[in-house]
Amino acid sequence: MKKGLKVVLNIAIVLSALALVALLSGIMLIEPKVKINGFAVLDKARLENVNKTVTVLDNDGNTVNDAIYDNNKIFTDINSLPDHTAAAFIAVEDKRFYSHHGVDYLRMISAAKNNLFSGSFKEGASTITQQLVKNTHLKNDKTISRKIQEIRIARDLERHYTKDEILEMYLNILYFGNNIYGIGTASYVLFDKSPSELSLHESALLAAIINNPSRFNPYSHPDAALSRRNSVLKKMRNQGYISSDECKAAQDEELVVSDKRNILNQYMNNCIVEAENILGIDKSDLFSGGYTILSYYDSGLQGQIDKMISDNTVENGIINIIIADNENGRFLANSGNSLADLSCRKRQPGSTIKPFVSYAPALEMKNVYTVTPVLDEKTTFGNWTPSNFNDKYYGWVSVEDSLVKSLNVPAVKLMEMNGVEQSKKIAGKFGITFSAKDTSLAVALGGLTDGITLNTLTDAYRTFANGGLYSKGKYVREIIDKNGKTVYCDSGSTYRRAISEDNAYLMTEMLQKCAKSGTAKQVGYANYDAAAKTGTAGNKDGNTDAYCVAYTPKYTVSVHISAIDGLLDNSCAGGTLPAKLARKILTMLNDKSKFCAPETIISADIDLNELINNKKVMLASEEIKEIDKKKALFSSENMPLTYSTPQTYIEKESPLDDFDNFKILD
């Protein structure tokens, strides 16, 4: 009796459910043009935005489609797709797509019945048209009100667009996981091919993913993705889209996807950000505006650094590399193995900031020469006692040697000598910004509240190569609107003087030695001219950031490795992998040009005994033996004016009067 009662009860529930569906269906038959207060209506502008995207061209005018950039999608024309691609989505998502008018009432009733008998609401009944409406017009909440609006708009949509137009819009708004939007982008990222080249089994895999992009992620859950793909193929066979032999052959194909899902194209993303700033609009307006951005992207260089990054993975680490043209500030390549946007990402710069906050200001303020002795020893500044790497100290060292070895105490002493605010003011001329909280001497060692972006750091080092002239780097060459009108064209760099040409050259001279024998010695760029500086932020337990910025007369290369979560291994420091990668890139660029000294740079002999014994930088008089002399470079605007003899000092009005002791360098 109880069993019979249960059966009757189930039948009653199902009949009630079907009656409810029928009632709701009746409501849906209301003419969509009849407005219901608070209900959304068809908005054609939302649908038209589907085919609007930002197109980025490289420096040769070719469209860049090889990687994704910040939710951008590659729009795909429905007519360019193989028949089996569209069939795969229809088979699994909406088999009566070409016969219904936006709503599949039979499927709604079947889903309601199945959900009731299973005691769950797992089976959906939305058509492709309804899914398009949901993703362009409505929120994703599960309410009867939203469902009614979805059905009304879907029916109205089908009155204004053909089935192929609806399917095209649908395929271009789908989310495939891993930050991939649209079938065009999915094809390039997952299979490294145009959507027009998709095979049967690849099309089935894409159709399989969208049901649950996380669960059927082919990277993290390949077995589940493969099983779901085969299920899609089976449905295609059962619905007559493919034969049994085609189904079996496709099911036998291995699951092979490319590794591009780990790479957000940082160059393209920088283009997007720069274009927003140039036009003064936000990202949504940029994308909906259908703009075309012409960039300085060098696809050849980009491909090579992409490969370097993929060949040198770092556990728990993100590698970000930038290549820039020094003279015109054009960023030629920017690659990073991250799905995060690195364009505005600020990190602690470590010792890479020392040249700008300690050394360049000290030269510019005429506080030191490159050969001025500085005592490197454990020193307390107020209540702060910074330490050198491995707590090792070298005693009296020259300003140059302290930079080459990247010693911490001398860098702090120089900033203290300059004054923190004056040091920051000069560093600001290199494009470096500081927080109002950055008021302590810790700034000398990269202790910044907000950190610094790799773009900013690259521009700062380019300034040395450009003789002390700063210009902001750029990714964008030209911007064209949807009507073909040029709304922006790069008119050339705007320069400002950061430091004197002489001091920029002296900084480069010191950094060349850093690249040959100092912390950046892994750069060791053969017999060509290259300057470099490393930087590492971390502690004894591990590092958070490791840098090497290297430059030749023509190019600047910045390599940054940062921890994703927690710490990098201590073996990953600025002087290790970052420096090695910088060397490979400089070798690839093959710049054989030379750094040219300004005419106002003077080579002079200084008295070695005075330097060592009395810590004074004095010009060596003729009486001094060659063994007791040391050659040094000076700016004619900042050099010692006092000569020495074995017993006495002789004052002279100008060192330039003694032509036997000086020469002009080419």
What confidence tens digit (pLDDT) does each residue in 55-109 have? 888 999 988 865 555 556 678 889 999 999 999 999 999 999 999 887 877 777 6
pLDDT for 30 beyond 80: no
Looking at per-residue pLDDT, the higher value among 319 and 24 belongs to 319
Query: Torsion over CA of 178, 181, 183 and 185, rounded to 10 degrees?
Result: -70
Instruction: Please choose, from the candidates 233, 311, 292, 265, the residue with its C-alpha nearest in 3D space to the C-alpha of residue 56.
Output: 292
The overall average pLDDT reported for the chain is: 87
Q: Can you give the pLDDT at residue 263?
A: 61
CA 476, CA 484: separation in Å to the nearest integer? Answer: 17
Q: Can you give the pLDDT at residue 11?
A: 56
Instruction: Please choose, from the candidates 368, 352, 411, 274, the residue with its C-alpha nearest in 3D space to the C-alpha of residue 548.
Output: 352
Q: Can you give the pLDDT at residue 525?
A: 75
Structural contact between residues 94 and 102, judged by C-beta atoms closer than 8 angstroms = no
Instruction: Please choose, from the candidates 248, 217, 210, 243, the residue with its C-alpha nearest in 3D space to the C-alpha of residue 230.
Output: 248
Q: Which long-range contacts (CB under 8 A, 24 or more apart) does 149-153 make?
A: 149/39, 149/40, 150/126, 151/28, 151/102, 151/103, 152/28, 152/30, 152/32, 152/36, 152/39, 153/32, 153/40, 153/41, 153/42
| Residues pairing with 330 in the sheet | 474
Q: Can you give the pLDDT at residue 647?
A: 42
Question: Residues 521-562: pLDDT tens digits?
Answer: 999 876 789 999 999 999 889 999 999 999 999 999 999 999
Question: Residues 429-485: pLDDT tens digits?
Answer: 999 999 999 999 999 999 999 999 999 999 999 999 999 999 999 999 999 998 899
Looking at per-residue pLDDT, the higher value among 130 and 112 belongs to 130
Active site residues: 93, 351
Question: Residues 481-495: pLDDT tens digits?
Answer: 988 999 999 998 899
Q: Can you give the pLDDT at residue 524?
A: 87
Q: Can you give the pLDDT at residue 421?
A: 97
Most confident region among 159-163, 426-430, 660-664 by mean pLDDT: 426-430
Give the residue range(s) of CATH 1.10.3810.10 domains in the chain.
Answer: 2-30+65-261
Can you tell me the mean pLDDT for 191-213?
Answer: 94
Q: What percent of the chain has pLDDT over 90?
A: 64
pTM equals: 0.78
Question: Residues 102-127: pLDDT tens digits?
Answer: 787 777 766 555 555 554 444 456 89
Q: What percent of the chain has pLDDT over 70?
A: 85
Burial 298-315 (b: 16+ CB within 10 A, else e): bbebbebbbebbeeeebe
Sign of CA dihedral 580, 585, 587, 592: negative
Looking at per-residue pLDDT, the higher value among 20 and 292 belongs to 292
Angle at Cα 256 formed by Cα 91 and Cα 218, nearest 5°? 65
Highest CATH level, class, for 2-30+65-261: mainly alpha
Q: How far is CA 309 from the centre of its chain?
A: 13
Instruction: Please choose, from the candidates 417, 429, 335, the residue with its C-alpha nearest in 3D space to the C-alpha of residue 375.
Output: 417
SS3 content of the chain, % helix, strand, coil (to 5): 45, 15, 40
pLDDT for 137 beyond 70: yes
